[in-house]
Amino acid sequence: MKRKSGIFTGIILILLGGLFLASELYPDVFSFWSWPFILIGLGVMFLLWSLIAQTGGLAIPGSILSGLGGIFYYQELTRDWDSWSYIWALIPGFVGVGILLKGLIDKDFKKSANGGLTLLLISAVLFFAFGTQFGLQLYIIKYWPVLLILIGIFALVKALLKKQDQF
């Protein structure tokens, strides 16, 4: 395990050094670079580490950090800081994605699917509920049927994962 961690640490440091060197040498190419990339990068490091070390639990903070970085990057680009009044509702969904990834990595997807999908559903409901009240763009609101599709997928997956009762 320590050997894998050392290899992972070395690879990450080399990649980070190369990225920072490239951004110094070619600043025009990296003009999109912004502080939220620190969160996205940390999240990606957690996700990679969870894959390399086969430790699925690291996928949960990885998906949360990456998701928060994505939110903050969106807000930085659009200057839509008021969107925080409803966009926070995506955070339980990031946890749900992390739980699903954990299940895939740890090879116990059936155990993780129920909790992960439930959190994704809760996140979607909260996002649309608060978004309609606090300024979610109208062109996004017209996609509310996606919520019904998500509920249907949740019910279908839950039914498929349920053990068959033997008579």
Tell me: the pLDDT tens digits for 13-28? 787 788 778 777 877 7
Nearest to 66 by CA among 46, 50, 83: 46
Q: What is the pLDDT of residues 63-99, one digit of tens each?
A: 999 999 999 998 988 888 888 888 899 999 999 999 9
Q: What is the DSSP letter of 55?
A: -
Nearest to 42 by CA among 24, 67, 78: 67
pTM, two decimals, is: 0.71
